[in-house]
Amino acid sequence: MDILLTWFGGKLLDVLPNWLLRRLVKLTQVAQQVKLDLRGQSPVTISLSSAVPIINLWFEVQNHSVLDLVLDRIVVEITVGQPVAYGVMAHRYPVAHHTTESGIYFVATLTPGAVELIKQQPSTPSNRIVRVGARAYFQTKLGWFAVEGVNLMRDLPAF
């Protein structure tokens, strides 16, 4: 019975006019049901020895809401002791309702100063952490909203 109600409710949301949909579903509720995180498996890779040193991040968006979303962009700040890279992931990703999208990719080039800062990190595990500040912007039928990534950190990978 629950499956039938969920299916019928999803179909109803698809055909309702936007003005009526806004009265039934609040954008603040939708924003609370969306989570931005780093991907579970190998979310951070660093290549310091290439001609252009880079850092790669993979994000994951969990959409527990009843609406389909479009991830418009993510504004990113990466720190390894100190800030080493800033950037914007500006590729749009569709995220269907009640699904997880884990193939969201961001790459940033590293300056020579950032490379030296990363190489100089102490070898103790507590100091070898990559912290990521991220704010994702989403578009829905109801309008736009933003979600902050909270406690996005992983161990610094080997380079």
Domain 26-155 fold: Immunoglobulin-like (2.60.40)
What is residue 125's predicted lDDT score, i.e. its pLDDT? 62
> Cα–Cα–Cα angle for 121, 122, 128, nearest 5°?
65
Strand ranges in the chain using DSSP code E only, listed in sequence order? 34-38, 44-47, 54-63, 69-80, 82-89, 93-95, 99-109, 129-139, 144-148, 152-155
Domain locations in the chain as residue ranges: 26-155
Q: Write down the pLDDT at residue 19.
A: 53
Residue 76: closest CA among 61, 92, 62, 90: 90
How confident is the prediction for the chain on average, in pLDDT? 85
Q: Which pLDDT score, from 0 to 100, does residue 115 have?
A: 92
Structure confidence at residue 9 (pLDDT): 52
| Low-confidence stretches of the chain (pLDDT beneath 50) | 1-2, 4-5, 8
